[in-house]
Amino acid sequence: MKNHGNVDLIYSANTISHIKNLNDVFKSINLVLSKNGVLILEDPSLLECLKKNTYDQFYNEHIYVFSYLSLQNILKEYNLVIYKIDNLTIHGGSNRYFIKRIKNKITIDKSVKEQRKKEIKYGLDKKNAFFKFKKRVEKSKKN
């Protein structure tokens, strides 16, 4: 960083869900991301996996499948915040998260509030949604 300065953009598509030690990743991002830099993460959507019963996203190489709620909990430990979310159709439903430092002046897009509302309405903040998903997976397996 001494020779070139920090970076203004970090883009990661379908990789973060494969990384075991997220703490090291986000510590490193904090080291290299400029004051007004943007981090873009794109990965399968936990909400869409549960809604569509697409459990094929859960396998040994996908250590994590994120929701907005879970990712935001991780990011706040590193003074990062999601400011925009694009819902994509790839992989049965993915999210592209636009992330900034908390002190960055970029305004929070309405897509963040909308995603949060969808996830809470579905129950991703409660255990019951996951127990229902488990039952649907077991039924699918049996069928």
Residues linked to residue 96 through DSSP beta bridges, in sequence order: 42, 86
Question: How many other C-beta atoms lie within 10 A of the C-beta of residue 35?
Answer: 10
Domain range summary for the chain, segments of one domain joined by +: 7-142
Structure tokens at 13: 């598509």
Are the C-beta atoms of 75 and 49 separated by less than 8 Å? no
Among candidate residues 50, 43, 141, the one with its CA nearest the CA of residue 96: 43
DSSP conformational letter for 66: B
Architecture, CATH, for domain 7-142: 3-Layer(aba) Sandwich (3.40)
User: pLDDT category, 136, cuts 50, 70, 90?
Assistant: confident
> How does pLDDT run across 5-55, given as a tens digit for each residue?
799 999 999 888 788 888 999 999 999 999 999 999 999 889 988 887 776
pTM of the predicted structure, to 2 decimals: 0.87
